[in-house]
């Protein structure tokens, strides 16, 4: 009997104690918001591997160091100037355009039917002469291109120089072409007009168109000056793009300290 009374007393004390503890835990939760009845969450182990701050596709091999936008711009402009200088040297010689398939000036698209018609009448040599003289005019005129392009490059403001440097292989050339094509055309057109006359292209083409019109009874005209000017400028830009690509990808082509410093910071 005594044992039963003792166990009952202990049970009551335990219940009372649990009730007091429950009240205490509730008070802590009300005051602090911390629920001590919930098991403590495991704290994950701290990793010693640094969290990457760039995406896996970022240019991890780029180190622009302390290069300023001005320095980057200077490097880009120097590459463009070298491209123009070397491009003009290659194009401004006999067959510079004619024998270079990348820049060769073909019969104007709207006059391709003239080529077919002349050949059908046994005048293929006249058609060939017409194409040849278009290229001769470009080869003669392009010699005057260097100062025109140099002025365009010098006056070009490259606010986003870093993005251009980190861009495609011909990003600077594309930027220059977009910004200066109209001005270059206006400045270069008189040079082409003089060259067309100098090499006799205008006279030959008048004969070509006259014969075509006689054979077909049609009246075809075209602005050869505009066409050759555009094609000559595009030819120079192709050579500049080729040079830019070389400088970006071949350290041996970085012939100055500026080129080495700027393009050396970007390893393609």
Provide the phi-psi class of 164: left if phi over 0, else alpha when psi is between -120 and 50, else beta.
Answer: alpha
What is the C-alpha to C-alpha distance for residues 63 and 248, in angstroms, rounded to an integer?
A: 14
Q: Cβ(139)–Cβ(186) under 8 Å?
A: no
Q: Cβ(241)–Cβ(83) under 8 Å?
A: yes
What is the C-alpha to C-alpha distance for residues 249 and 245, in angstroms, rounded to an integer?
A: 6
Domain boundaries, the chain: 69-264
Helices then strands, each counted (H, E), the chain: 10, 0
Per-residue pLDDT at 35: 54
What is the C-alpha to C-alpha distance for residues 164 and 116, in angstroms, rounded to an integer?
A: 44
DSSP structure class, residue 53: S
pTM for the whole structure? 0.73
Per-residue pLDDT of the chain (268 residues; tens, 9 = 90+): 444 444 334 433 343 444 444 554 454 455 445 454 554 444 333 333 333 333 333 343 456 767 888 899 999 999 999 999 999 999 999 999 999 999 999 998 878 888 888 888 898 999 999 999 999 999 999 999 999 999 999 988 888 888 899 999 999 999 999 999 999 999 999 999 999 999 999 999 999 988 888 888 888 777 899 999 999 999 999 999 999 999 999 999 999 999 999 999 886 5
What is the C-alpha to C-alpha distance for residues 168 and 174, in angstroms, rounded to an integer?
A: 9
Give the DSSP per-residue string, 93-160. STTTTTT-TTT-----GGGHHHHHHHHHTT-HHHHHHHHHHHHHHHHHHGGGHHHHHHHHHHH---TT
C-alpha separations of 109 from 132, 156, 199, 228 in Å? 16, 33, 22, 12
- The residue whose two tokens read 């503890």 is 21
Per-residue pLDDT at 113: 85
Within 10 Å of residue 81's Cβ, how many Cβ atoms? 17
Per-residue pLDDT at 26: 55
Q: Three-state DSSP class for 62?
A: strand
Per-residue pLDDT at 23: 52
- Answer positive or negative: Cα dihedral of 247, 78, 194, 113: positive
Q: Three-state DSSP class for 231?
A: helix
């Amino acid at each position: 009997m005594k044992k039963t009374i003792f166990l009952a007393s202990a049970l009551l004390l335990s219940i009372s104690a649990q009730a007091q503890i429950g009240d205490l835990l509730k008070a802590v939760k009300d005051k602090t918001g911390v629920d001590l009845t919930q098991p403590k969450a495991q704290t994950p182990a701290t990793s010693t591997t640094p969290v990457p701050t760039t995406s896996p596709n970022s240019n991890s091999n780029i180190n622009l160091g302390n290069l300023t936008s001005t320095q980057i711009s200077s490097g880009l402009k120097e590459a463009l100037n070298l491209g123009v200088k070397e491009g003009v040297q290659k194009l401004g010689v006999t067959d510079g355009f004619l024998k270079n398939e990348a820049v060769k000036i073909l019969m104007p698209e709207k006059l391709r039917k003239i080529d077919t018609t002349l050949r059908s009448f046994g005048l293929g040599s006249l058609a060939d002469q017409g194409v040849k003289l278009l290229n001769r005019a470009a080869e003669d005129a392009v010699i005057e291109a260097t100062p025109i392009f140099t002025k365009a490059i010098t006056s070009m403001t490259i606010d986003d120089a870093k993005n251009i440097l980190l861009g495609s292989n011909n990003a600077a050339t594309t930027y220059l072409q977009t910004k200066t094509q109209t001005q270059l055309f206006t400045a270069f057109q008189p040079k082409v007009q003089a060259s067309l006359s100098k090499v006799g292209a205008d006279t030959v083409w008048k004969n070509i168109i006259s014969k075509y019109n006689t054979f077909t009874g049609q009246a075809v005209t075209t602005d050869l000056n505009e066409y050759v000017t555009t094609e000559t400028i595009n030819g120079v830009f192709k050579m500049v793009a080729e040079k830019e690509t070389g400088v970006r990808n071949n350290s041996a082509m970085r012939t100055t300290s500026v080129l080495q410093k700027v393009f050396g910071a970007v390893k393609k």
